[in-house]
Amino acid sequence: MNKSSSSLVIVGANGFVGRNLSKFASQFMNVHLMDSNQFIIPAKLNKSSVFVYLRAISSPTFVQINPALSNEINSVNTFENISKALSAGHRVIFASSDIVYGHSSAKIFSEKDPVNPWGLYAKQKNEIEEKFATHENFISLRLSLITGNGSKLEQILKFESPPKIAQGVVRNPVRIDFVLESISRLMKINSFRSVFPQGCVNIGGKDSVEIFDLALTIAKMRRFNTPVRVQRGIEDLSARPAITRITSEAAEEFVGLEFKL
């Protein structure tokens, strides 16, 4: 297979999405990997290259109880690194979160809806989005829970005994292959802002699912440890909303994907 002349730089390549994206994209383009402690723009990188910025402390509860550390990584370092990539003429796809919309028991958020960040993690993600809101080469992916072999949820079910899953948490889970395909199609867009005027794309499945029910289904299918339903702790209650429902209108219209669980 002939590879594209453009390159992909994955920042945070040692995580679940980064590992899968590297394997997926290396089939058709040059891929540069940076783990969670690196940021160096590769020499002689083609100006049509794309940075997928995945690096973050991604546990909202951990972020909530470690504000100084998480601010350094999720806000300060992220802003500096994305600024360097954009200043060098590259495009940036930034991994954000659906919880920037906040809590909703009934409303389904589209990209046109205003945000209401719930918890420090969501505020840090939204802060980065706002700082680059007008840049034509920046796009934010507001991701719901990502499922698939090796996902965070599967790791909990596989290795914890018993795995404890908080009750009452509802999201729009989406499979990793849909996330990878959406990133692949976004990389073909020369100017993100001209296609996505809101500067963001929601990536979530069609169905709203309580995470415990999803965990129970996965455990039965994969013969993992059976989860135990537990109450959310005080820190977690302040760190993330119980219910956030999103729809992927922009992704389905412009990227051409109909997301499913």
Domain harbouring 14, CATH code: 3.40.50.720
Q: Give per-residue pLDDT as tens, 46-99.
A: 877 999 999 999 999 999 999 999 999 999 999 999 999 999 999 999 999 999
**Residue 157 falls inside a structural domain:** no
Which domain, by its residues, includes 67?
Answer: 4-147+173-205+246-255
**Residue 107 falls inside a structural domain:** yes
**Residue 234 falls inside a structural domain:** no
Q: How many domains does the chain have?
A: 1
**Residue 159 falls inside a structural domain:** no
pLDDT score for 254: 58
User: Over its length of 261 residues, how does the chain's per-residue pLDDT go in tens digits?
Assistant: 445 567 899 999 899 999 999 999 888 888 999 876 778 888 788 877 999 999 999 999 999 999 999 999 999 999 999 999 999 999 999 999 999 999 988 899 999 999 999 999 999 999 999 999 899 999 999 999 999 999 999 999 999 999 999 999 999 999 998 899 889 888 888 888 888 888 999 999 888 999 999 999 999 999 999 999 999 999 999 999 999 999 887 666 655 555 554
In the numeric block, the tokens 């899953």 are attached to 165
- Give long-range contacts, CB 8 A cutoff, 24+ apart: 41-44: 41/9, 41/84, 41/85, 41/88, 41/90, 42/7, 42/9
Whether the CB-CB separation of 204 and 175 falls below 8 Å is answered with no
Q: What is the DSSP string of 221-237?
A: HHT-PPPEEEPPPHHHH
Rg over CA atoms, the chain: 18
pTM equals 0.93
